[in-house]
Structure 1
Amino acid sequence: MSTPPPSSRVDVTHPAWDPGREIVLDPGSPEPLYHQVSQQLHAAIEDGRLPAGARLGNEVDLAASLRLSRPTVRQAIQTLVNQGLLVRRRGVGTQVVRTKVARPLRLSSLFDDLTGLGGKPESVVLANSVEPADAEVAELLEAPGLTHVRRLKRIRSTDGEPLALMNNYLPDGVIDPTDEELRDKGLYQLLRSAGIRLHAAEQNIGARLATEEDAELLHEKPGAALLTMQRTTYDDTGRVVEYGWHVYRASRYAFNLSLTNGPQ
């Protein structure tokens, strides 16, 4: 395809990538045109030609650049929005977000995993307090005589994008973190620094739809798909040191599992 005139090029903040030059369409292909566009945009995001934060122009400009109809371009963009690769922001336009975080299932905190993946984890502390422990909380922490519990509630983000809403109960006295420590370090890092040797965990993974509160905190729409995780963590003495229930943006997050063949 010939390069369109400069006046019809799309405003992309990463000037090395010009969709009018780099997206090549084949009208004779059995693949719909919107799919061809979305696949090539996807490839540009994956290989870094369109990095996180790069901004596409509006649908009219992109359609003119590619000589396509606006509905075709809209469908291509919506495909990538649904995959969590693009986001529409009011007053900003369509913007590239980071690719989905794929987290292995192991005894580590989200903070540790994001750091290991080269991300820049950030936390907003919504709750950090000691409260009376009712019977339900004592049961979750497997401590029938427990009288007080530390409750934590945090939003974990990476590179400025909210990723997870994390709630935790810890038996009072296990650690006494400040808000600053919770912003700068992961929970497991704080536990290990206190001399606690983490040994094992039981974990359940599920899914649900975002509530109004979830949507506001995680920058999603009410009803958006969320992944859920409940985890009970034990130290090397068999004591429960934390119970967590977290929700993750399904558009930005995945769990990886390794499966082995069992006995035949």
Structure 2
Amino acid sequence: MKIKIDHSSPIPLHIQAEELLRKIIRQPQYQKGKNLPNEIELATKLTISRGTLRQAINKLVYEGLLVRKKGLGTKVNNIVSSKALNWLSFSQEMALRGIPIKNFELKISWVKPDEQIANFFEIKGNKKVLKLERLRGRSEGPFVYFVSYFHPRIGLTGDEDFKRPLYEILEKDYHVVANLSKEEISARSADKFIAGKLQLDQGSPILLRKRFVFDQVERPIEYNLGFYKADSFIYTIESRRE
């Protein structure tokens, strides 16, 4: 298979690399479990830097197309996953359901990101990011606890009025448009902290919704965790056969 990056193209190198990787991993040998070439070999073949290649690989890892294991290399992820075609902010979702929302807690802080968040943002772990915590629900009680981390590139100060819709703040105040969302949903038991927030018994079932949000040129802008009472959240997936 012929693979080539066009350095004269206006399309960013990492976007070209992503598309080539998508073609590469459709080859039978990779679908059957063969590891991709190591980063040095693949970057040399594509005539791009390892950093550019890593950006492309990270994108496919977050999409669930690739899985990377330390010491074992990178290969196609053969676990089938589903994703919705469209996404809405929490406020929009609740408005569509006709559910009035109450904010029980709102906390803003600056923190050093853990390794997973730093890797998602592609920043150093000693660079602080804005952390926004919100406990939200109906008038009778909370049903979701959100934790959001934002890329420093956006320019958020922490003085914003976060009672306003989040993506309205980003777009109107910072000209950052949230254009793409990728999500992971898993079931788990509430630990002591989350149980306290959601007014549950420790060990009660909850749903964890991870949301990775990107701007119009697919740069990461938000890493969001939502902890839902299990009986309060239904996720609908629409798939269309092409």
TM-score by length of 2: 0.57
Equivalent position amino acid for 1:244 in 2: N
1:168-179 map, 5 Å: 168-172=148-152, 174=154, 175-178=156-159
Looking at CA atoms only, which structure, 1 or 2, has the larger radius of gyration? 1
Q: How big is each residue's C-alpha offset from its partner over 1:121-179, in whole Å with a ceiling of 9 and x where there is no partner?
A: 12233530122345443212233587220011111112333111111110235223447
**Across the two proteins, how many residue pairs are aligned to each other?**
157
- Name the structure 2 match of 1:143: 123
Check if 1:166 corresponds to 2:127: no
Moved over 6 A (4+): none
Pairing 1:187–2:163 present:
no
**Is the deviation greater in 231-240 or in 187-196?**
187-196
Gapped regions of structure 1 (runs ≥ 5): 1-103
* Greater fraction strand: 1
1:217 aligns with 2:197: yes
What one-letter code is carried by the residue in structure 1 that aligns with 2:179? H
Q: Measure the CA separation in 2 of the matches of 1:134 and 1:206.
A: 20
Partners of 1:244 and 1:163 in 2: CA distance? 16
The residue that corresponds to 2:137 in the other structure is 157
Is 2:216 the partner of 1:236? yes
Q: Which residue of 1 aligns with 2:88?
A: 108
Q: What is the distance in 1 between the residues matched to 2:157 and 2:172?
A: 12
Structure 1 contact 154–167 (Cα < 8 Å) conserved: yes
**Structure 2: where are the runs of 5+ without partners?**
1-83
State the AA in 2 paired with 1:116. L
Q: Percent identity?
A: 21
* In structure 1, distance between residues paired with 2:151 and 2:115: 13
- Counterpart CA distance in 2 for 1:225 and 1:145 is 32
Tell me if the contact between 1:134 and 1:147 (Cα under 8 Å) persists in the aligned partners. no
Q: Report the 3-state secondary structure (helix = DSSP H, G, I; strand = E; otherwise coil) of the residue aligned with 1:256.
A: coil
Query: CA 1:145/1:167 → structure 2, altered by over 3 Å: closer, same or farther?
Result: closer
Spell out the pairing of 1:1-264 with structure 2 (5 A cutoff): 106-133=86-113, 135-144=115-124, 147-172=127-152, 174=154, 175-178=156-159, 181-182=161-162, 184-194=163-173, 195-261=175-241
Q: CA RMSD in A?
A: 2.4
Maintained 8 Å contact 1:105/1:256: no
Separation of aligned partners in 2, 1:106 and 1:261: 16
| Counterpart Cα distance in 2 of 1:125 and 1:173 | 26
Contact kept in structure 2, 1:231 and 1:245, CA below 8 Å = yes
Counterpart-to-counterpart distance in 2, 1:145 and 1:159: 38
The 8 Å contact of residues 146 and 171 in structure 1, kept in 2 or not, is answered as no
Which residue does 2:80 correspond to in 1?
A: none
Give the 3 Å change call, closer, same or farther, for CA 178–105 of structure 1 in structure 2: farther
Q: Which amino acid aligns with 1:212?
A: K
Post-superposition Cα deviations, 1:66-103, rounded to whole Å, max 9, x if no partner, equal xxxxxxxxxxxxxxxxxxxxxxxxxxxxxxxxxxxxxx
Q: Which amino acid aligns with 1:164?
A: V
For 1:43, the equivalent position in structure 2 comes to none
Determine if contact 2:117/2:223 at 8 Å carries over to the other structure.
no
**Match of 1:246, as an amino acid?**
G
DSSP 3-state at the match of 2:210: strand
